[in-house]
């Protein structure tokens, strides 16, 4: 494939984890009718998001306390998820061109007894928990018993995850990671969960807190996906945040982890100065981990405003040969009216910006998240199995 005339030397792709923008047509199948992450947060109070709005956020759909702009700096649309499911792996894989035939398994009543027994046999310890729970709540509930017994806490959520929580002074990080590797090998066939996650914590009873040494063990993605074809084309890929873990490191030349969203933006800014070509791919997780799952509407609102404030200088640092894409992987509506803390089956926003491209383009409703991956693939002279590029629409 010949390189498009709309070639950019560098693409910066930022995923705002869980920042959905309204229910998908099949939301009822997931118990998600009426869930609308951005819509409910915007109704909670007046948000100060000038940079996202000038890129086109308020033009995607009506949002309370916002008016769509007639003159924009960016282009805008929204994307639907084709694959069944509403978790990180499903969303990110589809962005990269992978459509799933069936959703990853979830465990609303905990994991099968036989699976837990085999896990305990291999780690030579009993376990605690084995139920869906909030990560912060389960260490409040079982942290003291874990410290007393040395038994790791196993739990899940509405997502396809097998999570292992352990106090760093009770089960050292290396041992916790080893337990996760054992679990990853066991969790195959009908129990092939999307991710096994190490959830270390520290502190004392009444003041347990999770640390930044979380580590995800994802299912190996099918081939070919975006990062594979970029590697074949010798296009460098730099991951920020969970990206390396989500794709098992495939096609990622180098990566950094992040402490929080602000740290993620700082590392993205560093990457702008140090990495002149290729794909810079980031996931900012605070929206999901700290606020969506904890039903913290005000915290989510403040986090969006923090991102927007940091986005201003970041936009100013972009070159004409850069393309910025901002999106999400799913929703996690914190609206307290709905009691669930699970992810929500929602459209995701798509915002595109470059100092050199036509602005104000309505990219419409994209049929699959893979349209973003196909746009990036076409930019670098290659292609992925699914999706329709909108690269030429940006040039006009």
Tokens of 396: 């006009």
For residue 126, pLDDT beyond 60: yes
Residue 69 main-chain phi, psi, to 5 deg: -95, 145
Regarding predicted confidence, which is higher, 24 or 134?
Answer: 24
Placement of tokens 């899940």 in the chain: 156
Regarding predicted confidence, which is higher, 203 or 338?
Answer: 203
Q: How confident is the model at residue 183 (pLDDT cuts 50, 70, 90)?
A: very high
Cis peptide bond N-terminal to 342, omega within 30: no
Structural domains of the chain sorted by starting position, each given as residue range(s) with its CATH number in brackets: 10-101+221-395 (3.40.720.10), 113-218 (3.30.70.1250)
**β-sheet bridge partners, residue 284:** 16
Residue 298: CA count within 13 A, CB half-sphere: 0
**Helix (H), strand (E) at residue 24:** none
* Average pLDDT for 317-331: 98
The predicted pLDDT at position 396 comes to 65
The predicted pLDDT at position 4 comes to 42
The 3-state DSSP class for residue 156 equals: strand
The predicted pLDDT at position 206 comes to 93
Instruction: Give the residue among 269, 137, 295, 278 at the shortest CA–CA distance from 208.
Output: 137
Placement of tokens 């994991």 in the chain: 111
The predicted pLDDT at position 32 comes to 96
What does the alpha-carbon distance between residue 188 and residue 75 come to, in Å, rounded to a whole number? 41
Contact 351, 55 (CB under 8 A): yes
What does the alpha-carbon distance between residue 127 and residue 98 come to, in Å, rounded to a whole number? 34
**β-sheet bridge partners, residue 325:** 13, 352
**β-sheet bridge partners, residue 323:** 11
What does the alpha-carbon distance between residue 314 and residue 60 come to, in Å, rounded to a whole number? 22
Placement of tokens 């929204």 in the chain: 78
Placement of tokens 């869930």 in the chain: 35
- How high does pLDDT run on average in the chain? 95
The predicted pLDDT at position 339 comes to 87
**Helix (H), strand (E) at residue 88:** helix 88-95
The predicted pLDDT at position 134 comes to 87
pTM of the model: 0.92
What does the alpha-carbon distance between residue 101 and residue 172 come to, in Å, rounded to a whole number? 38
For residue 48, pLDDT beyond 70: yes
Tokens of 80: 């639907």
Contact 42, 335 (CB under 8 A): no
Residue 178: CA count within 13 A, CB half-sphere: 9
The predicted pLDDT at position 158 comes to 81
pLDDT tens string 279-313: 999 999 999 999 999 999 999 999 999 999 999 99
């Amino acid at each position: 494939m010949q390189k498009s005339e709309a070639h950019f030397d560098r693409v910066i792709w930022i995923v705002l984890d869980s920042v959905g923008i309204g229910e998908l047509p099949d939301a009822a199948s997931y118990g998600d009718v009426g869930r609308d992450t951005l819509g409910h947060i915007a109704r909670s109070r007046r948000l100060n998001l000038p940079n996202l709005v000038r890129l086109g956020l308020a033009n995607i759909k009506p949002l309370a306390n916002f008016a769509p702009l007639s003159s924009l700096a960016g282009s805008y649309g929204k994307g639907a998820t084709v694959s069944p499911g509403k978790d990180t792996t499903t969303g990110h894989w589809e962005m990269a061109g992978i459509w799933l035939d069936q959703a990853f398994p979830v465990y609303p009543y905990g994991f099968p007894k036989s699976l837990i027994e085999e896990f305990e046999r291999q780690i030579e310890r009993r376990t605690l928990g084995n139920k869906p729970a909030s990560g912060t709540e389960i260490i409040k509930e079982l942290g003291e018993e874990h410290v007393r017994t040395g038994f790791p806490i196993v739990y899940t959520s509405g997502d396809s995850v097998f999570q292992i929580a352990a106090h760093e002074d009770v089960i050292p990080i290396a041992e916790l990671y080893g337990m996760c590797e054992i679990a990853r090998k066991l969790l195959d066939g009908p129990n092939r969960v999307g991710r096994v996650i190490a959830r270390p914590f520290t502190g004392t009873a009444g003041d347990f807190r999770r640390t930044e040494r979380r580590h995800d063990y994802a299912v190996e993605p099918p081939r070919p996906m975006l990062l594979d074809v970029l590697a074949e084309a010798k296009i460098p890929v730099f991951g920020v945040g969970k990206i390396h873990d989500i794709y098992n490191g495939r096609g990622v030349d180098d990566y950094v982890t992040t402490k929080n969203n602000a740290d993620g933006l700082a590392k993205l800014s560093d990457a702008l100065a140090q990495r002149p070509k290729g794909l810079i791919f980031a996931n900012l997780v605070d929206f999901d981990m700290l606020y969506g799952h904890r039903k913290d509407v005000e915290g989510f609102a403040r986090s969006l405003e923090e991102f927007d404030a940091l986005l201003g200088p970041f936009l100013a640092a972009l070159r004409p040969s850069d393309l910025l894409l901002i999106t999400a992987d799913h929703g996690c509506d914190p609206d307290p009216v709905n009691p669930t803390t699970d992810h929500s089956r929602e459209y995701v926003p798509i915002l595109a910006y470059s100092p050199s491209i036509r602005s104000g383009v309505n990219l419409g409703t994209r049929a699959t998240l893979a349209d973003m991956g196909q746009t990036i693939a076409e930019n670098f002279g290659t292609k992925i199995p699914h999706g329709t590029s909108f690269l030429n629409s940006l040039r006009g």
